[in-house]
Amino acid sequence: MSHLSQIHNLSKSDVLEIFSRADKLRTMPPEERALLLQHKILANVFFEPSTRTRLSFESAAKQLGMHVLTMNESQSSRVKGESFLDTLLTLKAVGADVFVIRTKDENICSDMAEKMSLLHPGTHVINAGGGTLNHPTQGLLDVYSMLQHKPELKNSKIIICGDIKHSRVARSTTQCLAVLGIPNIHLVAPEHLLPNQSEFSNCVLSTDLDSAVSDADIIMMLRIQKERMQHTDIPNPESYQENFGLTTIRLNKAQPDAIVMHPGPMNRGVEISSDVADGKQSIIEEQVNNGLYIRMALFDFYLNP
């Protein structure tokens, strides 16, 4: 298994191995980490806006001793009509060993993984977010973060609330939970932002956050993804906050030791209040930090098997 285009590429043992490597890398002296993947080259191919994911991959690679090539579409030969495959082949020709790709196209990563497997079997493609369907490294870091606080995750009630319909994070995180056999997952959203039940067969779908959050152990909030919606479908911020925003009052209905998560970017005062986002139950900054070690672990997993 040379590529990660979706969580379904991973087995339960793969996921646990990645988590184990993340744990080891976290405690490894920086000078030792910096020798692990010396002379390997990452090509960061980001054709969609990103802060956390792009910088996390770049930092992870550099801390392992890798060289990093970063490009964006507006400054590449893609504007001249070059195909995505030819872009990767050019990057391979200048030494790239692994390609981290973010794009609005949901199928690019799986397509490039298949083609690069034939043309350059020693290279690796990692999906850093594709359309509305896949964001596998976010799913991995979310579940890794959950396990740090709730080691008995099978006994936890997990709430994911927000724009589920357009969320690649919701899809990848629930897929990762499914790979590990974690039940009791509740997805909450306005009716028009809920997906088809068939797509999330292992989850309970709801439009009532107040009811769902009762006795919850983990609450993960998602933003409204306006860039993937028709203008007429975008909820009114005030109305949305009233019905689907996580406030202190709503959080108090959950378990006293419940944790609050958000993959970012946050819209404070819409899906989450600032006092909750910055409160003692929030692990949002931990998620970002955990993403660094999960991505280090993935590079190690693929390039140092």
Annotated domain spans of the chain: 7-134+288-303, 136-282
pLDDT over 60 (residue 228):
no
What phi, psi does 3 have (nearest 5°)?
Answer: -135, 160
pLDDT over 70 (residue 150):
yes
Rg over alpha carbons for the chain, rounded to the nearest Å, is 19
Q: What is the pLDDT of residue 74?
A: 64
Per-residue model confidence as pLDDT tens digits over 81-97: 789 999 999 999 999 99
What pLDDT band is residue 230 in, cutting at 50, 70 and 90?
Answer: low
- Residues 233-261: what's their mean pLDDT? 92
More confident residue, 281 or 305: 281
- 104-118, 171-185, 231-245: range with lowest mean pLDDT: 231-245
Residue 9: CA count within 13 A, CB half-sphere: 23
Residue 206: CA count within 13 A, CB half-sphere: 20
- Residues 127-131: what's their mean pLDDT? 90
What pLDDT band is residue 75 in, cutting at 50, 70 and 90?
Answer: low
Per-residue model confidence as pLDDT tens digits over 8-57: 999 999 999 999 999 999 999 999 999 999 999 999 999 888 889 999 99
Same CATH fold, 136-282 and 7-134+288-303? yes
pLDDT over 90 (residue 278):
yes
pLDDT over 60 (residue 232):
no
Element at 296 (helix H, strand E): helix 284-303
List the structure tokens of 125: 């493609």
pTM of the predicted structure, to 2 decimals: 0.94
- 25-29, 154-158, 199-203: range with lowest mean pLDDT: 199-203
CA diameter of the chain: 56
Taking alpha carbons only, the member of 263, 60, 38, 268 closest to residue 144 is 263
Tell me the CATH number of domain 7-134+288-303, given options 3.40.1360.10, 3.40.50.1370, 2.60.40.10, 3.40.50.620. 3.40.50.1370
What pLDDT band is residue 291 in, cutting at 50, 70 and 90?
Answer: very high
Q: Tell me yes or no: is domain 136-282 CATH 3.40.50.1370.
A: yes
pLDDT over 80 (residue 235):
no
What pLDDT band is residue 220 in, cutting at 50, 70 and 90?
Answer: very high
Q: pLDDT over 70 for what percent of the chain?
A: 95
Q: What is the pLDDT of residue 80?
A: 76
What pLDDT band is residue 64 in, cutting at 50, 70 and 90?
Answer: very high
Summary mean pLDDT of the chain:
93
pLDDT over 60 (residue 231):
no
Q: pLDDT over 90 for what percent of the chain?
A: 84
- Residues 158-173: what's their mean pLDDT? 96
Q: Which runs of E-coded beta strand occur in 31-109?
A: 41-46, 67-72, 98-103
Check: CB of residue 241 under 8 Å from CB of residue 269.
Answer: yes
Q: What is the pLDDT of residue 79?
A: 67
